[in-house]
């Protein structure tokens, strides 16, 4: 017993140092989690399809496959305008409503207020263009939507376009009563609304669906 007490007295400083070093040791640090990539607020994406708009004016710059590298559209994207007026130069505000919906609101140099709404579900984008006249005189309004589709073969009319490109096949549909339209007045590849007489303060809507068609299984 005396020997044990002697050993403890002799080794006490070393034991105290060891205990203190263990108690002060920093706990193991877990590896830092990799930050999740930030999603683009101007992009809607489903399992197969991605849609991106320009938040400055609401024009569409990407409509294609989910990976962001297979765009059905060319550099011109998809733009909207009114027949007989200068192409709109819009100033406004972009809003992300939900994971599946976004909207752009603005007014152009022609004194036309625009609301452009996009909703993505599966392979189909539902589009609504709503215009309101801020002009002092009434006019006959026709809204059109024109897509830049390089290397595309397009069949159909101003209500239904069946599109085939090296990237994919697509179907663009306009909700209108009469698809016939004098060819000399606009691009035959544009989708367009029915004509409506707009009084000052009056509004009208043009609705479409854009569907990217999945490859057929063999």
Using pLDDT thresholds of 50, 70 and 90, give the confidence band for residue 19.
very low
List of domains in the chain? 43-213 (2.70.98.10)
Residues 36-60: pLDDT tens digits? 446 789 999 999 999 999 999 999 9
Residues 69-90: pLDDT tens digits? 999 999 999 999 999 999 999 9
Report DSSP state, residue 179: -
| Residue of higher predicted confidence among 2 and 175 | 175
Tell me the sheet residues that pair with 3. none
Residues 128-183: pLDDT tens digits? 999 999 999 999 999 999 999 998 999 988 889 999 998 889 999 999 987 665 54
Distance CA 40, CA 45 (A): 10
Q: What's the pLDDT score for residue 71? A: 94
| Residue of higher predicted confidence among 167 and 6 | 167
Distance CA 80, CA 147 (A): 9
Using pLDDT thresholds of 50, 70 and 90, give the confidence band for residue 4.
very low
Phi, psi of 23 (to 5 degrees): -70, -25
Report DSSP state, residue 71: B
The secondary structure element, H or E, covering residue 18 is helix 2-24
């Amino acid at each position: 017993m005396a020997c044990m007490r002697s050993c403890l007295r002799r080794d006490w400083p070393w034991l105290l140092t060891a205990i203190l070093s263990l108690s002060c040791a920093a706990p193991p640090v877990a590896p830092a989690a990799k930050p999740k990539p930030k999603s683009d607020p101007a992009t809607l994406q489903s399992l197969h399809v991605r849609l991106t708009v320009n938040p400055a004016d609401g024009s569409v710059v990407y409509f294609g496959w989910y990976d962001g590298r297979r765009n059905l559209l060319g550099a011109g994207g998809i733009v909207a305008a009114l027949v007989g007026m200068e192409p709109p130069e819009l100033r406004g505000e972009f809003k992300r409503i939900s994971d599946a919906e976004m909207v752009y609101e603005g007014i152009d140099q022609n004194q036309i207020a625009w609301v452009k709404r996009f909703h993505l579900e599966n392979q189909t984008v539902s589009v609504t263009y709503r215009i309101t006249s801020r002009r002092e005189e009434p006019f006959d309004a026709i809204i059109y939507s024109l897509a830049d589709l390089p290397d595309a073969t397009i069949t159909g009319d101003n209500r239904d376009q069946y599109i085939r490109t090296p990237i994919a096949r697509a179907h663009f549909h306009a909700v209108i009563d009469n698809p016939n339209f004098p060819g000399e007045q606009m691009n035959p590849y544009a989708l367009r609304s029915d004509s409506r007489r707009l009084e000052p303060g009056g509004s009208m809507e043009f609705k479409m669906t854009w569907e990217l068609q999945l490859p057929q299984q063999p």
